[in-house]
Structure 1
Amino acid sequence: MELKTLHTFATVAEIGTIGGASKKLNCVQSNVTTRIKALEAELGVSLFNRSRAGMALTAAGVAFLPYAQDVIQAEERARASVEAFESSVSLLRIGSMESTLAVRLPGILSSFRSENPNLRLQIKSGPTDELIEKLLLDQIDMALIGGKFKHADLQGHALFAEEMVMISALEFETLEDLRSLPVIVFKLGCSYRDYTRRWMRMSGLAPNEVFELGTLEGILGCVASGVGISCLPRSVVVGSQVCNLLRIHTLDDPARFIDTYAMLNPKSVRNGAVEAFLQTARKTLFAS
Protein backbone atom coordinates (compact mmCIF):
# COMPACT_ATOMS: atom_id res chain seq x y z
CA MET A 1 0.00 0.00 0.00
CA GLU A 2 1.17 3.49 -0.81
CA LEU A 3 1.91 6.19 1.73
CA LYS A 4 -0.29 8.66 -0.17
CA THR A 5 -3.21 6.25 0.16
CA LEU A 6 -2.70 6.00 3.92
CA HIS A 7 -2.66 9.81 4.14
CA THR A 8 -5.94 9.86 2.23
CA PHE A 9 -7.52 7.25 4.49
CA ALA A 10 -6.46 9.06 7.69
CA THR A 11 -7.73 12.40 6.35
CA VAL A 12 -11.14 11.00 5.42
CA ALA A 13 -11.35 9.36 8.87
CA GLU A 14 -10.52 12.69 10.50
CA ILE A 15 -12.90 14.91 8.50
CA GLY A 16 -15.67 12.45 7.77
CA THR A 17 -16.47 13.45 4.20
CA ILE A 18 -14.94 12.91 0.79
CA GLY A 19 -15.42 16.56 -0.13
CA GLY A 20 -13.76 17.88 3.02
CA ALA A 21 -10.84 15.46 2.65
CA SER A 22 -10.31 16.44 -0.99
CA LYS A 23 -10.05 20.11 -0.02
CA LYS A 24 -7.52 19.40 2.74
CA LEU A 25 -5.50 17.14 0.44
CA ASN A 26 -5.81 19.60 -2.46
CA CYS A 27 -7.04 17.03 -4.94
CA VAL A 28 -10.30 16.20 -6.71
CA GLN A 29 -12.93 14.10 -4.95
CA SER A 30 -12.65 11.28 -7.48
CA ASN A 31 -9.01 10.72 -6.52
CA VAL A 32 -9.97 10.42 -2.86
CA THR A 33 -12.74 7.95 -3.67
CA THR A 34 -10.46 5.89 -5.91
CA ARG A 35 -7.71 5.63 -3.25
CA ILE A 36 -10.14 4.58 -0.53
CA LYS A 37 -11.71 1.90 -2.75
CA ALA A 38 -8.25 0.65 -3.78
CA LEU A 39 -7.17 0.39 -0.15
CA GLU A 40 -10.33 -1.51 0.81
CA ALA A 41 -9.81 -3.86 -2.14
CA GLU A 42 -6.20 -4.47 -1.12
CA LEU A 43 -7.15 -5.19 2.48
CA GLY A 44 -10.28 -7.15 1.53
CA VAL A 45 -12.47 -5.27 4.03
CA SER A 46 -14.67 -2.18 4.15
CA LEU A 47 -13.10 0.64 6.12
CA PHE A 48 -16.01 3.09 5.96
CA ASN A 49 -19.78 3.05 6.26
CA ARG A 50 -21.05 5.43 3.59
CA SER A 51 -24.17 7.54 4.07
CA ARG A 52 -25.58 10.89 3.08
CA ALA A 53 -24.09 12.29 6.28
CA GLY A 54 -20.60 11.27 5.22
CA MET A 55 -18.02 8.59 5.90
CA ALA A 56 -17.88 6.81 9.26
CA LEU A 57 -15.25 4.22 10.14
CA THR A 58 -16.32 0.60 10.37
CA ALA A 59 -14.92 -1.57 13.17
CA ALA A 60 -12.19 -2.66 10.76
CA GLY A 61 -11.45 0.98 9.95
CA VAL A 62 -11.17 1.84 13.64
CA ALA A 63 -8.72 -1.05 14.11
CA PHE A 64 -6.67 -0.05 11.06
CA LEU A 65 -6.45 3.70 11.76
CA PRO A 66 -3.74 3.70 14.49
CA TYR A 67 -1.47 1.55 12.34
CA ALA A 68 -1.92 3.87 9.37
CA GLN A 69 -1.11 6.84 11.65
CA ASP A 70 2.02 5.06 12.92
CA VAL A 71 3.27 4.67 9.33
CA ILE A 72 2.51 8.31 8.52
CA GLN A 73 4.30 9.54 11.64
CA ALA A 74 7.28 7.28 10.95
CA GLU A 75 7.54 8.79 7.46
CA GLU A 76 7.44 12.29 8.93
CA ARG A 77 10.19 11.42 11.44
CA ALA A 78 12.28 9.82 8.71
CA ARG A 79 11.94 12.90 6.51
CA ALA A 80 12.80 15.23 9.39
CA SER A 81 15.92 13.20 10.19
CA VAL A 82 17.52 14.05 6.85
CA GLU A 83 16.00 17.42 5.98
CA ALA A 84 18.44 19.14 8.38
CA PHE A 85 21.24 16.59 8.00
CA GLU A 86 23.69 19.15 6.63
CA SER A 87 23.50 21.18 9.84
CA SER A 88 22.51 18.59 12.45
CA VAL A 89 24.79 16.47 14.62
CA SER A 90 22.99 13.15 14.57
CA LEU A 91 25.28 10.50 13.06
CA LEU A 92 29.04 10.31 12.57
CA ARG A 93 30.97 7.37 11.12
CA ILE A 94 34.69 7.61 11.85
CA GLY A 95 37.50 5.47 10.48
CA SER A 96 40.77 5.66 12.38
CA MET A 97 44.23 4.18 12.62
CA GLU A 98 44.61 2.02 15.73
CA SER A 99 47.27 4.32 17.18
CA THR A 100 45.03 7.39 16.91
CA LEU A 101 42.09 5.45 18.28
CA ALA A 102 44.15 4.36 21.29
CA VAL A 103 45.58 7.75 22.30
CA ARG A 104 44.01 10.79 20.65
CA LEU A 105 40.39 9.88 19.98
CA PRO A 106 39.11 9.02 23.49
CA GLY A 107 39.50 12.57 24.83
CA ILE A 108 38.05 14.15 21.70
CA LEU A 109 35.09 11.77 21.62
CA SER A 110 34.38 12.33 25.31
CA SER A 111 34.05 16.08 24.72
CA PHE A 112 32.14 15.59 21.47
CA ARG A 113 29.55 13.27 23.01
CA SER A 114 29.05 15.51 26.04
CA GLU A 115 28.29 18.38 23.64
CA ASN A 116 26.01 16.17 21.50
CA PRO A 117 24.33 13.60 23.79
CA ASN A 118 21.94 12.35 21.08
CA LEU A 119 24.74 11.56 18.64
CA ARG A 120 24.94 8.12 17.06
CA LEU A 121 28.60 7.22 16.66
CA GLN A 122 30.20 4.44 14.61
CA ILE A 123 33.96 3.76 14.71
CA LYS A 124 36.03 1.49 12.50
CA SER A 125 39.77 0.93 12.75
CA GLY A 126 42.19 -0.13 10.06
CA PRO A 127 45.25 0.80 7.99
CA THR A 128 45.29 3.93 5.83
CA ASP A 129 44.58 2.22 2.51
CA GLU A 130 41.57 0.40 3.93
CA LEU A 131 40.16 3.58 5.50
CA ILE A 132 40.57 5.53 2.27
CA GLU A 133 38.67 2.84 0.37
CA LYS A 134 35.81 2.99 2.88
CA LEU A 135 35.75 6.78 2.60
CA LEU A 136 35.52 6.64 -1.20
CA LEU A 137 32.68 4.10 -0.93
CA ASP A 138 30.84 6.38 1.54
CA GLN A 139 31.02 3.74 4.25
CA ILE A 140 32.53 6.28 6.67
CA ASP A 141 32.26 10.08 6.92
CA MET A 142 35.88 10.72 7.91
CA ALA A 143 39.20 8.88 7.88
CA LEU A 144 41.92 9.76 10.40
CA ILE A 145 45.22 8.80 8.80
CA GLY A 146 48.91 9.48 9.28
CA GLY A 147 50.39 11.64 6.54
CA LYS A 148 48.35 13.41 3.88
CA PHE A 149 46.93 10.98 1.37
CA LYS A 150 46.98 12.53 -2.10
CA HIS A 151 43.77 11.75 -3.94
CA ALA A 152 41.95 14.01 -6.39
CA ASP A 153 38.54 13.23 -4.88
CA LEU A 154 39.44 13.78 -1.21
CA GLN A 155 40.15 16.73 1.10
CA GLY A 156 42.52 16.64 4.08
CA HIS A 157 42.48 18.69 7.29
CA ALA A 158 45.61 18.54 9.48
CA LEU A 159 44.74 17.97 13.14
CA PHE A 160 48.00 17.24 15.00
CA ALA A 161 51.54 15.96 14.50
CA GLU A 162 52.97 12.72 15.85
CA GLU A 163 56.68 12.21 16.49
CA MET A 164 57.82 8.82 15.30
CA VAL A 165 60.27 6.98 17.56
CA MET A 166 61.94 3.59 17.41
CA ILE A 167 61.14 1.31 20.34
CA SER A 168 62.82 -1.79 21.65
CA ALA A 169 63.03 -3.86 24.82
CA LEU A 170 65.05 -2.23 27.61
CA GLU A 171 68.08 -4.45 26.99
CA PHE A 172 68.86 -2.72 23.67
CA GLU A 173 70.50 0.61 24.45
CA THR A 174 71.55 2.02 21.06
CA LEU A 175 70.19 2.05 17.54
CA GLU A 176 73.17 -0.05 16.48
CA ASP A 177 71.96 -2.78 18.85
CA LEU A 178 68.80 -3.02 16.76
CA ARG A 179 70.53 -3.92 13.53
CA SER A 180 69.74 -7.64 13.51
CA LEU A 181 66.30 -7.55 15.14
CA PRO A 182 63.06 -8.17 13.26
CA VAL A 183 60.90 -5.15 12.56
CA ILE A 184 57.31 -5.48 13.76
CA VAL A 185 54.83 -3.47 11.72
CA PHE A 186 51.14 -3.14 10.99
CA LYS A 187 49.75 -4.89 7.95
CA LEU A 188 50.24 -3.56 4.43
CA GLY A 189 48.59 -0.21 3.81
CA CYS A 190 49.64 1.50 7.05
CA SER A 191 51.45 4.85 6.64
CA TYR A 192 53.52 4.24 9.80
CA ARG A 193 54.69 0.95 8.32
CA ASP A 194 55.84 2.81 5.20
CA TYR A 195 57.74 5.37 7.28
CA THR A 196 59.43 2.62 9.29
CA ARG A 197 60.66 0.85 6.18
CA ARG A 198 61.96 4.13 4.67
CA TRP A 199 63.78 5.11 7.85
CA MET A 200 65.35 1.68 8.24
CA ARG A 201 66.74 1.84 4.71
CA MET A 202 67.92 5.44 5.15
CA SER A 203 69.69 4.63 8.43
CA GLY A 204 71.46 1.61 7.02
CA LEU A 205 69.78 -0.83 9.41
CA ALA A 206 67.78 -2.58 6.70
CA PRO A 207 67.19 -5.18 5.51
CA ASN A 208 65.57 -6.74 8.54
CA GLU A 209 63.10 -9.55 8.85
CA VAL A 210 59.57 -8.12 8.96
CA PHE A 211 56.74 -9.36 11.17
CA GLU A 212 53.22 -8.16 10.45
CA LEU A 213 50.70 -7.83 13.27
CA GLY A 214 47.15 -6.53 13.18
CA THR A 215 46.85 -4.85 16.56
CA LEU A 216 48.70 -2.14 18.44
CA GLU A 217 48.66 -4.15 21.66
CA GLY A 218 50.28 -7.07 19.86
CA ILE A 219 53.09 -4.92 18.49
CA LEU A 220 53.82 -3.26 21.84
CA GLY A 221 53.75 -6.59 23.67
CA CYS A 222 56.13 -8.29 21.25
CA VAL A 223 58.57 -5.38 21.36
CA ALA A 224 58.50 -5.30 25.16
CA SER A 225 59.34 -9.01 25.28
CA GLY A 226 62.33 -8.56 22.97
CA VAL A 227 60.85 -10.26 19.90
CA GLY A 228 61.68 -7.29 17.68
CA ILE A 229 61.56 -3.53 17.25
CA SER A 230 58.98 -1.13 15.90
CA CYS A 231 58.49 2.49 14.94
CA LEU A 232 55.43 4.18 16.45
CA PRO A 233 54.26 7.64 17.57
CA ARG A 234 55.84 8.74 20.85
CA SER A 235 52.39 9.51 22.30
CA VAL A 236 51.30 5.91 21.72
CA VAL A 237 54.39 4.48 23.43
CA VAL A 238 54.27 6.85 26.41
CA GLY A 239 50.57 6.16 26.91
CA SER A 240 50.85 2.38 26.69
CA GLN A 241 50.57 0.00 29.63
CA VAL A 242 53.98 -1.50 28.82
CA CYS A 243 55.84 1.82 28.56
CA ASN A 244 58.10 0.93 31.51
CA LEU A 245 59.24 -2.16 29.59
CA LEU A 246 60.20 -0.23 26.47
CA ARG A 247 63.21 1.83 25.47
CA ILE A 248 62.45 4.84 23.29
CA HIS A 249 65.08 5.71 20.67
CA THR A 250 64.72 9.24 19.29
CA LEU A 251 65.27 9.37 15.54
CA ASP A 252 67.63 11.86 13.92
CA ASP A 253 65.24 12.57 11.08
CA PRO A 254 63.49 15.89 10.30
CA ALA A 255 60.69 13.89 8.66
CA ARG A 256 59.91 12.00 11.86
CA PHE A 257 57.01 14.37 12.60
CA ILE A 258 53.98 13.09 10.73
CA ASP A 259 50.73 15.03 10.60
CA THR A 260 47.49 13.21 11.26
CA TYR A 261 44.82 14.25 8.79
CA ALA A 262 41.06 14.04 8.83
CA MET A 263 40.30 13.01 5.27
CA LEU A 264 36.85 13.85 3.86
CA ASN A 265 35.00 12.97 0.68
CA PRO A 266 33.40 16.15 -0.76
CA LYS A 267 31.16 14.04 -2.99
CA SER A 268 29.37 12.53 -0.01
CA VAL A 269 26.16 14.00 1.41
CA ARG A 270 27.13 16.95 3.59
CA ASN A 271 27.00 15.92 7.27
CA GLY A 272 26.82 18.57 9.98
CA ALA A 273 28.44 16.19 12.47
CA VAL A 274 31.73 16.24 10.53
CA GLU A 275 32.40 19.97 10.95
CA ALA A 276 31.23 19.82 14.57
CA PHE A 277 33.71 17.00 15.25
CA LEU A 278 36.59 18.91 13.64
CA GLN A 279 35.82 21.98 15.77
CA THR A 280 35.74 19.87 18.93
CA ALA A 281 38.95 18.08 17.95
CA ARG A 282 40.86 21.33 17.39
CA LYS A 283 39.54 22.81 20.63
CA THR A 284 40.37 19.69 22.65
CA LEU A 285 43.84 19.25 21.15
CA PHE A 286 44.67 22.93 21.60
CA ALA A 287 43.63 22.79 25.26
CA SER A 288 45.85 19.77 25.87
Structure 2
Amino acid sequence: MSIKIDLKDIRFVSILAEVQSVTIAADKLGCVQSNVSNRIKRLERDLGFVLFTREGGRMVASPAAEPIAKAGSVIETTIQDALIEARHRSMGSTIIRLGVMESFAATHLARIMKGFPGIEVLPFTGPSVEIASRIRRNQLDFGVVAHVVPTSELQVATVLNQEFMIAEARETPKTPVARVAALRGIDPLLRSQIIEIVARQTGRIPTVNELGSLDAIVNMVRSGLACAVLPASFLKSINQDELSISPVPSDQLSQSISCIRHVDNTMDSAWDTLSALAGEDAQFS
Protein backbone atom coordinates (compact mmCIF):
# COMPACT_ATOMS: atom_id res chain seq x y z
CA MET A 1 0.00 0.00 0.00
CA SER A 2 1.37 3.41 -1.01
CA ILE A 3 0.90 6.28 1.45
CA LYS A 4 1.46 9.82 0.22
CA ILE A 5 2.87 12.32 2.71
CA ASP A 6 4.29 15.78 2.18
CA LEU A 7 7.88 16.38 3.32
CA LYS A 8 6.59 19.43 5.20
CA ASP A 9 4.24 17.16 7.12
CA ILE A 10 7.18 14.99 8.15
CA ARG A 11 9.05 18.08 9.38
CA PHE A 12 6.02 19.22 11.43
CA VAL A 13 5.77 15.80 13.08
CA SER A 14 9.53 15.68 13.72
CA ILE A 15 9.70 19.13 15.33
CA LEU A 16 6.58 18.65 17.48
CA ALA A 17 7.86 15.26 18.67
CA GLU A 18 11.15 16.91 19.62
CA VAL A 19 9.87 19.96 21.52
CA GLN A 20 6.54 18.47 22.78
CA SER A 21 4.87 21.90 22.59
CA VAL A 22 2.68 23.41 19.84
CA THR A 23 3.84 26.91 20.84
CA ILE A 24 7.55 26.09 20.60
CA ALA A 25 7.04 24.04 17.42
CA ALA A 26 5.26 26.95 15.75
CA ASP A 27 8.13 29.26 16.69
CA LYS A 28 10.75 26.87 15.28
CA LEU A 29 8.71 26.31 12.11
CA GLY A 30 7.99 30.02 11.59
CA CYS A 31 4.20 29.72 11.59
CA VAL A 32 1.20 30.29 13.87
CA GLN A 33 0.12 27.68 16.43
CA SER A 34 -3.13 26.91 14.61
CA ASN A 35 -1.12 25.94 11.53
CA VAL A 36 0.70 23.27 13.55
CA SER A 37 -2.47 21.95 15.20
CA ASN A 38 -4.50 21.89 11.99
CA ARG A 39 -1.73 20.20 9.97
CA ILE A 40 -1.31 17.46 12.59
CA LYS A 41 -5.09 16.89 12.78
CA ARG A 42 -5.33 16.69 8.97
CA LEU A 43 -2.41 14.28 8.81
CA GLU A 44 -3.95 12.05 11.51
CA ARG A 45 -7.20 12.01 9.55
CA ASP A 46 -5.43 11.15 6.27
CA LEU A 47 -3.28 8.42 7.85
CA GLY A 48 -6.08 6.99 9.99
CA PHE A 49 -4.20 6.86 13.30
CA VAL A 50 -3.23 9.11 16.24
CA LEU A 51 0.16 10.83 16.10
CA PHE A 52 0.15 12.79 19.37
CA THR A 53 -1.57 12.65 22.75
CA ARG A 54 -1.67 15.40 25.35
CA GLU A 55 -0.08 14.51 28.68
CA GLY A 56 -0.27 17.41 31.11
CA GLY A 57 1.29 20.32 29.28
CA ARG A 58 3.14 18.17 26.74
CA MET A 59 2.29 16.86 23.29
CA VAL A 60 3.74 13.35 23.32
CA ALA A 61 4.37 11.41 20.12
CA SER A 62 2.51 8.12 19.86
CA PRO A 63 4.42 4.92 18.96
CA ALA A 64 3.01 5.33 15.43
CA ALA A 65 4.51 8.84 15.13
CA GLU A 66 8.02 7.85 16.22
CA PRO A 67 9.21 6.40 12.86
CA ILE A 68 7.84 9.48 11.05
CA ALA A 69 9.64 11.81 13.45
CA LYS A 70 12.85 9.81 13.05
CA ALA A 71 12.55 9.99 9.26
CA GLY A 72 12.23 13.76 9.50
CA SER A 73 15.43 13.98 11.51
CA VAL A 74 17.27 11.71 9.06
CA ILE A 75 16.04 13.70 6.04
CA GLU A 76 17.12 17.03 7.55
CA THR A 77 20.54 15.66 8.52
CA THR A 78 21.03 14.13 5.06
CA ILE A 79 20.20 17.44 3.36
CA GLN A 80 22.57 19.36 5.66
CA ASP A 81 25.33 16.80 5.03
CA ALA A 82 24.84 17.18 1.26
CA LEU A 83 25.03 20.98 1.47
CA ILE A 84 28.16 20.86 3.65
CA GLU A 85 29.85 18.41 1.28
CA ALA A 86 28.88 20.52 -1.75
CA ARG A 87 30.28 23.62 -0.05
CA HIS A 88 33.43 21.75 0.91
CA ARG A 89 34.05 20.58 -2.65
CA SER A 90 33.48 24.05 -4.06
CA MET A 91 35.80 25.82 -1.58
CA GLY A 92 38.46 23.18 -0.90
CA SER A 93 40.97 23.97 1.84
CA THR A 94 39.37 27.32 2.83
CA ILE A 95 36.73 25.47 4.81
CA ILE A 96 36.71 23.45 8.05
CA ARG A 97 33.97 20.91 8.81
CA LEU A 98 33.61 20.94 12.58
CA GLY A 99 31.48 18.66 14.75
CA VAL A 100 30.57 19.89 18.24
CA MET A 101 28.30 18.25 20.80
CA GLU A 102 25.29 20.49 21.39
CA SER A 103 25.81 21.24 25.08
CA PHE A 104 29.32 22.56 24.28
CA ALA A 105 28.27 24.32 21.08
CA ALA A 106 25.71 26.41 22.98
CA THR A 107 28.46 28.21 24.91
CA HIS A 108 31.63 27.84 22.84
CA LEU A 109 30.84 27.46 19.12
CA ALA A 110 30.46 31.15 18.25
CA ARG A 111 33.82 31.98 19.82
CA ILE A 112 35.51 29.02 18.14
CA MET A 113 34.21 30.07 14.72
CA LYS A 114 35.56 33.59 15.23
CA GLY A 115 38.96 32.08 15.99
CA PHE A 116 39.49 31.08 12.36
CA PRO A 117 39.64 34.38 10.43
CA GLY A 118 39.58 33.92 6.68
CA ILE A 119 38.35 30.34 6.99
CA GLU A 120 34.69 29.32 6.85
CA VAL A 121 33.76 26.90 9.63
CA LEU A 122 30.79 24.67 8.80
CA PRO A 123 29.40 23.34 12.09
CA PHE A 124 27.58 20.08 12.77
CA THR A 125 26.04 19.48 16.20
CA GLY A 126 25.19 16.04 17.49
CA PRO A 127 26.17 13.30 19.96
CA SER A 128 29.86 12.61 20.52
CA VAL A 129 29.58 9.08 19.09
CA GLU A 130 28.04 10.42 15.87
CA ILE A 131 30.73 13.08 15.50
CA ALA A 132 33.50 10.50 15.94
CA SER A 133 31.83 8.24 13.37
CA ARG A 134 31.64 11.10 10.86
CA ILE A 135 35.33 11.87 11.32
CA ARG A 136 36.21 8.22 10.65
CA ARG A 137 34.17 8.45 7.41
CA ASN A 138 35.88 11.74 6.43
CA GLN A 139 32.61 13.68 6.70
CA LEU A 140 34.09 16.04 9.31
CA ASP A 141 37.60 17.43 9.76
CA PHE A 142 37.55 17.97 13.53
CA GLY A 143 35.31 17.33 16.51
CA VAL A 144 34.82 18.57 20.07
CA VAL A 145 33.38 15.68 22.05
CA ALA A 146 33.19 13.88 25.40
CA HIS A 147 34.11 10.32 26.40
CA VAL A 148 35.96 9.37 23.21
CA VAL A 149 39.15 7.34 23.62
CA PRO A 150 42.06 7.32 21.13
CA THR A 151 41.96 4.57 18.48
CA SER A 152 44.08 3.63 15.51
CA GLU A 153 41.93 6.04 13.46
CA LEU A 154 41.46 8.94 15.87
CA GLN A 155 43.83 11.39 17.53
CA VAL A 156 42.38 12.70 20.81
CA ALA A 157 43.52 15.70 22.88
CA THR A 158 41.74 16.40 26.17
CA VAL A 159 41.35 20.18 26.56
CA LEU A 160 38.84 20.85 29.37
CA ASN A 161 37.14 19.30 32.38
CA GLN A 162 33.46 20.28 32.38
CA GLU A 163 31.42 20.67 35.59
CA PHE A 164 27.67 20.17 35.93
CA MET A 165 24.66 21.64 37.72
CA ILE A 166 21.18 20.30 38.37
CA ALA A 167 18.25 22.44 37.23
CA GLU A 168 14.69 22.21 38.54
CA ALA A 169 11.59 24.34 38.32
CA ARG A 170 11.68 27.08 40.96
CA GLU A 171 8.11 26.24 41.93
CA THR A 172 8.86 22.60 42.70
CA PRO A 173 6.02 20.13 43.41
CA LYS A 174 5.62 18.71 46.91
CA THR A 175 6.81 15.35 45.66
CA PRO A 176 10.21 15.51 43.85
CA VAL A 177 9.92 14.82 40.12
CA ALA A 178 11.51 11.43 39.38
CA ARG A 179 11.99 12.28 35.70
CA VAL A 180 15.08 13.70 34.07
CA ALA A 181 15.31 15.37 30.66
CA ALA A 182 18.44 14.69 28.60
CA LEU A 183 19.71 15.15 25.06
CA ARG A 184 18.85 12.42 22.59
CA GLY A 185 21.87 10.18 22.00
CA ILE A 186 23.38 11.01 25.40
CA ASP A 187 26.59 9.13 26.24
CA PRO A 188 25.62 5.93 28.13
CA LEU A 189 28.15 6.59 30.92
CA LEU A 190 26.89 10.14 31.43
CA ARG A 191 23.29 8.89 31.36
CA SER A 192 23.94 6.35 34.14
CA GLN A 193 25.74 8.96 36.26
CA ILE A 194 22.84 11.41 35.90
CA ILE A 195 20.32 8.72 36.85
CA GLU A 196 22.33 7.97 39.98
CA ILE A 197 22.48 11.66 40.97
CA VAL A 198 18.73 12.21 40.49
CA ALA A 199 17.90 8.95 42.29
CA ARG A 200 19.99 10.11 45.25
CA GLN A 201 18.06 13.39 45.33
CA THR A 202 14.53 12.05 44.85
CA GLY A 203 14.81 8.64 46.48
CA ARG A 204 13.50 7.01 43.29
CA ILE A 205 15.04 5.73 40.07
CA PRO A 206 14.02 8.39 37.51
CA THR A 207 12.67 7.85 34.03
CA VAL A 208 14.70 9.56 31.31
CA ASN A 209 13.06 11.65 28.58
CA GLU A 210 15.49 12.13 25.68
CA LEU A 211 14.77 15.32 23.74
CA GLY A 212 16.29 16.74 20.60
CA SER A 213 17.52 20.12 21.84
CA LEU A 214 18.68 21.99 24.93
CA ASP A 215 15.81 24.46 24.49
CA ALA A 216 13.31 21.61 24.74
CA ILE A 217 15.03 20.34 27.90
CA VAL A 218 14.97 23.77 29.59
CA ASN A 219 11.31 24.27 28.68
CA MET A 220 10.42 20.89 30.15
CA VAL A 221 12.27 21.76 33.36
CA ARG A 222 10.57 25.18 33.61
CA SER A 223 7.19 23.45 33.29
CA GLY A 224 8.00 21.31 36.34
CA LEU A 225 7.73 18.07 34.37
CA ALA A 226 11.37 17.07 34.81
CA CYS A 227 14.73 18.09 36.20
CA ALA A 228 17.97 18.15 34.19
CA VAL A 229 21.68 17.78 34.86
CA LEU A 230 23.49 20.07 32.42
CA PRO A 231 26.93 21.68 31.97
CA ALA A 232 27.45 24.58 34.37
CA SER A 233 28.71 26.83 31.56
CA PHE A 234 25.45 26.33 29.63
CA LEU A 235 23.17 26.97 32.60
CA LYS A 236 25.09 30.13 33.49
CA SER A 237 24.59 31.41 29.94
CA ILE A 238 20.77 31.24 29.86
CA ASN A 239 17.90 33.13 31.50
CA GLN A 240 17.48 31.41 34.85
CA ASP A 241 13.98 32.77 35.55
CA GLU A 242 11.70 30.03 36.91
CA LEU A 243 14.73 27.78 37.49
CA SER A 244 16.40 26.59 40.66
CA ILE A 245 20.03 25.63 40.02
CA SER A 246 22.49 23.90 42.33
CA PRO A 247 25.99 22.53 41.69
CA VAL A 248 26.78 18.85 41.33
CA PRO A 249 29.97 17.94 43.27
CA SER A 250 32.80 17.21 40.83
CA ASP A 251 33.51 13.91 42.57
CA GLN A 252 29.99 12.79 41.59
CA LEU A 253 30.04 14.01 37.99
CA SER A 254 32.45 15.75 35.64
CA GLN A 255 33.22 15.30 31.97
CA SER A 256 36.41 15.49 29.97
CA ILE A 257 36.06 17.50 26.75
CA SER A 258 38.40 16.51 23.92
CA CYS A 259 39.27 17.61 20.41
CA ILE A 260 39.49 14.77 17.90
CA ARG A 261 40.62 14.34 14.30
CA HIS A 262 41.45 11.49 11.94
CA VAL A 263 45.07 10.40 12.17
CA ASP A 264 45.47 11.16 8.45
CA ASN A 265 44.35 14.78 8.96
CA THR A 266 47.34 17.06 8.29
CA MET A 267 45.70 20.41 9.18
CA ASP A 268 48.07 20.89 12.13
CA SER A 269 47.71 24.66 12.48
CA ALA A 270 43.91 24.43 12.58
CA TRP A 271 44.17 21.55 15.08
CA ASP A 272 46.35 23.63 17.42
CA THR A 273 44.00 26.61 17.13
CA LEU A 274 40.91 24.51 17.83
CA SER A 275 42.52 22.84 20.86
CA ALA A 276 43.40 26.23 22.34
CA LEU A 277 39.96 27.74 21.69
CA ALA A 278 38.05 24.73 23.01
CA GLY A 279 40.20 24.67 26.14
CA GLU A 280 39.23 28.22 27.10
CA ASP A 281 36.31 27.80 29.48
CA ALA A 282 33.45 30.22 28.79
CA GLN A 283 33.12 33.02 31.35
CA PHE A 284 29.82 34.57 32.38
CA SER A 285 29.02 37.41 34.73
| Amino acid corresponding to residue 221 of structure 2 in structure 1 | V
| Amino acid corresponding to residue 127 of structure 2 in structure 1 | P
Task: Give the counterpart of 1:195 among 193, 209, 226.
Answer: 193
What is the aligned partner in structure 1 of residue 172 from structure 2? 172
Cα deviation, residue 256, structure 1:
2.0
The SS at the match of 1:244 is coil
User: Cα deviations across residues 2-57 of structure 1 (Å, max 9, x unaligned)?
Assistant: xxxxxxxxxxxxxxxxxxxxxxxxxxxxxxxxxxxxxxxxxxxxxxxxxxxxxxxx
Cα deviation, residue 106, structure 1:
1.7
Cα deviation, residue 94, structure 1:
0.8
The SS at the match of 2:241 is helix
Indicate the structure (1 or 2) with the bigger Cα radius of gyration: 1
1:225 aligns with 2:229: no
Return the alpha-carbon distance in structure 2 between the equivalents of residues 202 and 151 of structure 1: 35
| Amino acid corresponding to residue 190 of structure 1 in structure 2 | D
1:260 aligns with 2:257: yes
TM-score, length-scaled by structure 1: 0.58
Return the alpha-carbon distance in structure 1 between the equivalents of residues 193 and 151 of structure 2: 19
Return the alpha-carbon distance in structure 1 between the equivalents of residues 281 and 251 of structure 2: 23
| Amino acid corresponding to residue 169 of structure 1 in structure 2 | A
Identity %: 19
Of the structure 1 ranges 215-224 and 160-169, higher mean CA displacement relative to structure 2 is found in 160-169
Cα deviation, residue 133, structure 1:
0.8
User: Cα deviations across residues 199-228 of structure 1 (Å, max 9, x unaligned)?
Assistant: 345667442222110101110111011110
What is the aligned partner in structure 2 of residue 274 from structure 1? 271
TM-score, length-scaled by structure 2: 0.59
1:98 aligns with 2:102: yes
Cα deviation, residue 280, structure 1:
4.2
Q: CA RMSD in A?
A: 2.9
- In structure 2, the gaps of 5 or more residues are 1-90
Q: Does the 8 A contact of 1:183 with 1:211 survive in 2?
A: yes
| Amino acid corresponding to residue 183 of structure 2 in structure 1 | F
Return the alpha-carbon distance in structure 1 between the equivalents of residues 142 and 196 of structure 2: 27
User: Cα deviations across residues 88-129 of structure 1 (Å, max 9, x unaligned)?
Assistant: xx321110111111112222322x14xx2x212110000111
Task: Give the counterpart of 1:237 among 228, 235, 253.
Answer: 235
Return the alpha-carbon distance in structure 1 between the equivalents of residues 100 and 109 of structure 2: 9
Cα deviation, residue 188, structure 1:
2.6
Q: Does the 8 A contact of 1:138 with 1:268 survive in 2?
A: no
Q: Count the aligned residue pairs.
A: 193
Cα deviation, residue 185, structure 1:
1.0
Q: Does the 8 A contact of 1:130 with 1:189 survive in 2?
A: no
Return the alpha-carbon distance in structure 1 between the equivalents of residues 202 and 243 of structure 2: 23
1:185 aligns with 2:189: no
User: Cα deviations across residues 135-185 of structure 1 (Å, max 9, x unaligned)?
Assistant: 111111111112343544322212222211211101239xx953x431111
Return the alpha-carbon distance in structure 2 between the equivalents of residues 269 and 247 of structure 1: 46
Q: Does the 8 A contact of 2:163 with 2:248 survive in 1?
A: no
| Amino acid corresponding to residue 185 of structure 2 in structure 1 | L
What is the aligned partner in structure 2 of residue 160 from structure 1? 160
Q: Does the 8 A contact of 1:148 with 1:259 survive in 2?
A: no
Q: Per the alignment, do residues 230 and 189 of structure 1 end up closer, same or farther by CA in structure 2, a change over 3 Å counting?
A: closer
Cα deviation, residue 244, structure 1:
2.2
User: Cα deviations across residues 233-256 of structure 1 (Å, max 9, x unaligned)?
Assistant: 111111113x12211122245142
